[in-house]
Chains A and B, each alone.
Chain A
């Protein structure tokens, strides 16, 4: 009964979405208020209906109702409760329902918080949201119905892919989707603005908080995915440039560019068409990401045995969304007149440089990700584009970007004084020299002292530059302490957000440099009682215990003791697990962290003569990558609490209302 209610609610939601996509648009064109207001009620109704459907799916998963195909294929009675719930989106159908549910959440949030928006803009934005919703609801109902029944119902289910039975991955998809779908808000606003033919400061102020929220969620989602890959895949790495990783990274790059160009629109009324274009791209790349992951055109963790009609369907949606919005853009963009002029060396100029580099980087990632597909279609042979390509292309583009990041916020609008800013950044230059030289000396033994020194110096430049900018704003050391305190309190939260996020990126850069330059790895055959030296640690394999029982797996658990100069640092227990349902093995790495470096142990196959292949890593500074990402997210959240970012707070200036 419950699954049918869910299915029925989804069908109703489709009709509500259809109404929401058409009526408000007509209303806005005719300036008919009641018709426009349909959008608000429809948005709430959609949330209710899609929420009901999602709740129904959670219910059948939690109660292990194996008469539902989706549950039978992806769940099992032995599965811990946490994974019964998260298993809802651990499969194709469920994850698409989650996608639509989050879309409905954003729509309702817009209807709720957007009271101060001009009614026509709100109606149009909600109508565009509803169009996206229609596309995905049709997709779910016709190709991926999560409520399909199975008759006769099996006694038990197939279980969830054990790799997904992990807290890191359990919450990775919701955050990722909150990010992906969040860009639909910027997209809807962009389309609404194109229909209206007007982009102004107020528009940018409405779009920024949604973009910022989406960006923060996406950053967190990507960081979680990376963290999961780091500790479960047992390869000791945290980023593989895998197509699915790139799929989430491209919207992030476009979204980051959008975040910065929206600032220019708000403050200076220029770069309007470009910002609209970025909003379209950020969401299109989110759709592309969904397509890449869901269609199974690339092989990776996420591509479950898939159905080609699904891929074609999403591709169709993608073409419709991108094509339609770009045509609208081509028609309307020429009417979006740019406002303030600016010199190349200025705050706008630096933000533009950020945009150009971000977009270029995004384009190269796109090229590398899609090239194997094109090559296959065009019969150029089967290729895979791997990490060496991405590293060689992406990193050189990021270096000037990060170098500008320290300067940009200190330049003034319109016409900046580069010499003056460089003079004010004396401290940062000193930091660069010190960090570079110290790293060079410390890294003397390792193979890559130049890279290491360069990376750390760059991070020092960004970090100190960001701190100097903040110190100047509050007049630290220049004014009496009371005055500094007063200024620090009155500094807008958005400013703190920027400083935190930029500083967070500096921390990430340190982490990346560390992991690239100082990782030591040892793959060896060990017998119980043996000790291996690794980066100044002594790792002793005490023994391997077979048949350790978990809730739905049995494991071979190894026991390592890590010592440094005879002192015990950590006891580590890596496992090799064999899940009962589905019967497949996984590796559970043991990680001991001191927040500067990680000791990382993986136990491999036995050789049958009492020995085991083991893989040991000493990963320097990897924890900083995740720490830095969390700081960046925190920066986004702090910025969101800024009064100026409060959704719907600002009203359009009287003058522009007069021109409506």
Chain B
């Protein structure tokens, strides 16, 4: 085997790996990528019920209703509200008036069926996406509104 052949072999191997990776990435992009919206975005944008999305905002004061292991609450960016339903154990930092990011699908009735609720790990911390969403809607009050 000559040097040239070996180089060719390297290149072919590299191309194969790259091609395989590209193919895998392209097939995975569909379900692996989840877009982030605020309740306000949903007013102007229709989301098909089979599309997973993330919604960020604040948990509206007084909106949390527990019904057994299912919780109903409203995610708000203070200009628009979104009814949300979630079944399971809520994260420790889930509280009314606090930032929240939920992942799930919007059903036919416009209710957000969350399959995952994320409240951030740090109390001082407002999820970045939520902070920006609030800034966008003009309701930003600084890093620690509750403390």
Contact = CB atoms under 8 A, between A and B. Distances in A.
Point out which of A342, A364, A587, A608 has the most chain B C-beta atoms below 10 A from its C-beta. Answer: A364
B20 A396 contact: yes
Interface stretch (A80-88, A285-293, A296-304, A631-639): A296-304
B44 interface: no
B84 to A, nearest CB: 16
Given A338-B3, A388-B32, 7 more contacts: A299-B120, A299-B129, A389-B25, A392-B24, A613-B88, A613-B90, A614-B89
Interface stretch (A315-323, A558-566, A599-607): A599-607
Contact of A360 (B2, B17, B68): B17
A356 interface: yes
B35 A381 contact: yes
Contacts of B25: 364, 367, 389, 393
Size bracket of the A interface: 35 or more
Interface residues of B, number: 45
Contact of B89 (A163, A584, A604): A604
B113 to A, nearest CB: 15
A161 B121 CA distance: 9
B76 to A, nearest CB: 18
B122 A360 contact: no
A12 interface: no
Point out which of B69, B123, B127, B143 has the most chain A C-beta atoms below 10 A from its C-beta. Answer: B69
Given A384-B54, A525-B68, A360 B36 contact: no
Contacts of B2: 341
A382 B24 contact: no
Interface in A315-368: 338, 341-344, 352-353, 356-357, 359-361, 363-364, 367-368
Interface string B9-42: 1100110011011001101110111111100000
B66 A605 contact: yes
Nearest to B25: A393
A443 to B, nearest CB: 24
A382 B36 contact: yes
Contacts of A368: 32
B28 A383 contact: no
A586 interface: yes
A523 B69 contact: yes
Nearest to B7: A338
B21 A393 contact: yes
B73 to A, nearest CB: 12
B17 A343 contact: no
Closest 9 CB pairs of A and B: A389-B32, A392-B28, A382-B36, A604-B89, A585-B92, A360-B17, A388-B32, A393-B24, A301-B121
A296 B120 CA distance: 13
Nearest to B67: A607
A496 interface: no
A602 B89 contact: yes
Contact of B33 (A234, A360, A385, A584): A385
Given A234-B89, A388-B31, A390-B32, A341 B6 contact: yes
A260 to B, nearest CB: 15
B43 interface: no
Interface of B: 1-3, 6, 9-10, 13-14, 17-18, 20-21, 24-25, 27-29, 31-37, 54, 66, 68-69, 87-90, 92-93, 103, 120-125, 127-129, 143
Point out which of A296, A299, A584, A585 has the most chain B C-beta atoms below 10 A from its C-beta. Answer: A299
A344 B9 contact: yes
A96 B14 CA distance: 37
Contacts, number: 136
Nearest to A274: B10
A482 interface: no
12 contacts: A304-B122, A305-B143, A341-B3, A353-B13, A359-B17, A363-B21, A382-B37, A383-B33, A384-B54, A613-B88, A614-B89, A615-B89
A393 B6 contact: no
A119 interface: no
A360 B23 CA distance: 12
A389 B69 CA distance: 30
B128 A364 contact: no
A386 B125 CA distance: 21
A353 B17 CA distance: 9
Contacts of B3: 338, 341
B108 to A, nearest CB: 24
Interface in A389-422: 389-390, 392-393, 396-397
B65 to A, nearest CB: 11
Interface in A589-643: 602, 604-605, 607-608, 611, 613-615
A68 to B, nearest CB: 19
A594 B6 CA distance: 51
Given A389-B32, A613-B89, A163 B121 contact: yes
Contacts of A389: 25, 28-29, 31-33
Given A304-B124, A305-B125, A604 B90 contact: yes
A44 B136 CA distance: 53
